[in-house]
Amino acid sequence: MGLSAICNFGDGIGWNFRVGHNCIHCSGFTVVSFAFVYFYFAFTRTLKSLHRWQFKIYSLAAGNFRIVRGMKSMTGYGRGECARDGFKITVELGAVNRRQSEISVNLPRELEMLEAQVRDAINAQVARGRVTARIGIHAADGQSSARAHINLPLAKAYATELARLAKSLKISGGVSLDQILRAPGVFQTDEELVETESVWPAVEKALKPALASLVKMREREGAHLAQDLTARIGIMRQSVEKIQKRVPETAENYRRQLLERIKSAGIENIAPDDERLLKEIVLFADRSDISEELTRLRSHFKQFEDCRKSKEPVGRTLDFLAQEMNREINTIGSKANDAVISREVVTLKAELEKFREQAQNVE
């Protein structure tokens, strides 16, 4: 079965599509419409593919989603609010550095039952750092000020029990109104009458933009941290390359210095290929060999590049890499018997310290 198209320029612009033995005539407007629809869906699929390539979305419990966009800082701030049924819910989130994840939730007494849900929502977005959440409820803008309510059944129960207590303790005098009003739960405001289950959707709606703002600020600062950490690694790479180029010269320099010390001691007739001299040089070369340390340092640099491209929290990994790089640099410094290598070791230690300080800010 074949498909062919023939353009007619008779009474109007049109197309004849031949499918097998059948011929279908379409107007020019119909062809243009089909073409527009085709390119629209092709363009939409391209955008979706780019979106999936740029952002990695993780599905969470309770239908939530988490969007991770690379290295993030541990510090940030976010605020959100939601007005509903005459009340306004405000949520403020602040995050600072911590080695572990730590969440502090400050809720009004009437919303204390929502603490677990708030913690779960924050934990879904924050993997490391101390997050302080402050949630408040008050009358919405344009509403009258909070009204007072008396819980009459509770007040009667207090009055009955207080009178019974006074009679049991043989205390003269009746129960006063002031005593009853001071009892917990008798005097209530509109906010205190809010049911926890009914107010959670409003709290969740205010919490989402607060979390989005917090994550966005952490991502923005994390991008700057990634640039600085990359610059530190770049300087350390240069020092490692300088050390690598210097390594072959260290044994020859040691042999020359050893011959000079022998001559200065007044010992003559020492041939350059003397067995004892060669043995000493070989032992020195073995003691000062730093090829393994340089290889491991390069491996750590490569692992940092993997962390920089990762979409998962990498703060703890960077802390570990800093410890391992410090171990290798110290070993190189203890083995090095060369002024140039010692100078580069000082540079490595200085840059590593800056790297370690910045890594402590990464989630």
pLDDT at residue number 10: 42
CB atoms < 10 A from the CB of 225, how many?
A: 21
Q: Which two tokens stand for residue 282?
A: 């070989």
Beta pairing class for 101-106 and 129-139:
parallel
Dist CA 37 CA 348 (whole Å): 60
| pLDDT tens-place values along the chain, 363 residues long | 444 444 444 444 454 444 454 444 555 544 445 455 455 555 555 544 444 434 333 333 333 334 445 789 999 999 999 988 778 889 999 999 998 899 999 998 778 889 999 999 999 999 999 999 999 887 765 544 455 567 777 778 888 888 888 888 878 777 787 777 777 766 665 545 455 567 888 899 999 999 999 999 999 999 999 999 999 999 999 999 999 888 877 766 666 666 666 666 566 666 666 666 666 656 655 566 788 889 999 999 999 999 998 888 999 999 999 999 999 999 998 887 788 888 999 999 999 999 999 999 999
Dist CA 146 CA 302 (whole Å): 61
* Closest residue by Cα to residue 116 from 209, 241, 216, 200: 200
CB atoms < 10 A from the CB of 347, how many?
A: 16
CB atoms < 10 A from the CB of 297, how many?
A: 24
CB within 8 Å of 118: residues ≥ 6 apart: 105, 107, 133, 135, 203, 207
HSE-CB at 123 with a 13 A cutoff on CA atoms is: 14
Could you give the residue ranges of the DSSP H alpha helices within the chain?
28-54, 115-123, 152-168, 177-181, 196-264, 275-287, 291-309, 315-335, 339-359
Dist CA 153 CA 131 (whole Å): 41
CB within 8 Å of 140: residues ≥ 6 apart: 83, 84, 86, 87, 88
Q: Which two tokens stand for residue 149?
A: 């309510």
pLDDT at residue number 248: 78
In 147-201, beta strands by DSSP E: 148-150, 187-189
Q: Which two tokens stand for residue 167?
A: 């009679």
Q: Which two tokens stand for residue 208?
A: 């989402």
236-275 tens-digit pLDDT? 999 999 998 888 777 666 666 666 666 665 666 666 666 6
Identify the residue whose tokens are 């408040």.
Answer: 136
* CA-to-CA dists, residue 138 to 42, 111, 179, 214, 228, angstroms: 49, 12, 27, 23, 44
φ/ψ of 269, rounded to 5, equals 60, 40
